[in-house]
Chain A
Amino acid sequence: AQTVTQSQPEMSVQEAETVTLSCTYDTSENNYYLFWYKQPPSRQMILVIRQEAYKQQNATENRFSVNFQKAAKSFSLKISDSQLGDTAMYFCALLNTNAGKSTFGDGTTLTVKP
């Protein structure tokens, strides 16, 4: 079985500052992907960033970057220069590439304050 844990139900950050969302996971697989999804109030699921487990280099997408610590099974998301539009719920997810099934954390609600 695989698990994903997001220990921060809610976080807030001032506009233009940096915030880090935490995620830990557990899996017995060697081949997997990790994702961060954003879910704004519209409830749509939007892919923010993904990381292949075999890659040592941390993924980066504009203001979003991850700190992937494979041995520690940790996958945190850093949002730099936070914007009001970043206000959303953020989900960490683990995809077992062999089985093709994803497991999601319970989410972190991020509020960016003006």
Chain B
Amino acid sequence: DAEITQSPRHKITETGRQVTLACHQTWNHNNMFWYRQDLGHGLRLIHYSYGVHDTNKGEVSDGYSVSRSNTEDLPLTLESAASSQTSVYFCASSESNQGGQETQYFGPGTRLLVL
């Protein structure tokens, strides 16, 4: 079955270190998204991509970067981790149709703790 996976599921790092979170989907979806979810709140969009070599900033993109070299993967990089980036990170993917974007399907999440 097609799926979307994230790795690692849990990560502890120190401030100032570079961290990369992986997201891999096997649905062949064009669109991929990264969100963060802070305790007790909804999801906020970090970056998104509509296809290979396309990347766009979301509402909370500062301190994060993404690259899309193939359809299946959208890794999220924290250039210099900060304690404020401690959060749960969700990757999602969706397909496009003639009416626009379709339902997003979410990965299991990555819990990141920055000490």
Asked if B86 lies at the interface with its beta carbon under 8 angstroms from chain A, I say no
Interface size class of B (residues with CB under 8 A): 20 to 34
Evaluate contact between A44 and B105: CB separation under 8 angstroms: no
A23-39 residues at the B interface, CB under 8 angstroms:
31, 33, 35, 37
Asked if A98 lies at the interface with its beta carbon under 8 angstroms from chain B, I say yes
Point out the residues of chain A lying under 8 angstroms from B37, CB to CB.
43
Evaluate contact between B104 and A44: CB separation under 8 angstroms: no
Evaluate contact between B109 and A97: CB separation under 8 angstroms: no
Evaluate contact between B45 and A100: CB separation under 8 angstroms: no
Point out the residues of chain A lying under 8 angstroms from B105, CB to CB.
47
A91 to B40, CA, bound (A): 11
Evaluate contact between A107 and B101: CB separation under 8 angstroms: no
Q: From the candidates A33, A37, A43, A100, name the one contacting B31 in the complex (CB within 8 A).
A: A100
Cross-chain pair count, CB within 8 angstroms? 64
Asked if A15 lies at the interface with its beta carbon under 8 angstroms from chain B, I say no
Evaluate contact between B99 and A101: CB separation under 8 angstroms: no
Interface size class of A (residues with CB under 8 A): 20 to 34
Give chain A's interface residues, CB within 8 Å of chain B.
Answer: 4, 31, 33, 35, 37, 42-47, 50, 91, 93, 95-102, 104-107
Give chain B's interface residues, CB within 8 Å of chain A.
Answer: 31, 33, 35, 37, 40-45, 48, 50, 58, 88, 90, 92, 94, 96, 99-101, 103-106, 108-109, 111
Given contact pairs A43-B37, A47-B105, A99-B101, a sample of 16 additional A-B residue pairs in the complex whose CB atoms are under 8 Å apart: A33-B103, A43-B108, A43-B109, A45-B43, A45-B90, A45-B92, A50-B103, A93-B43, A95-B101, A97-B99, A98-B100, A100-B50, A101-B48, A101-B58, A104-B42, A106-B41
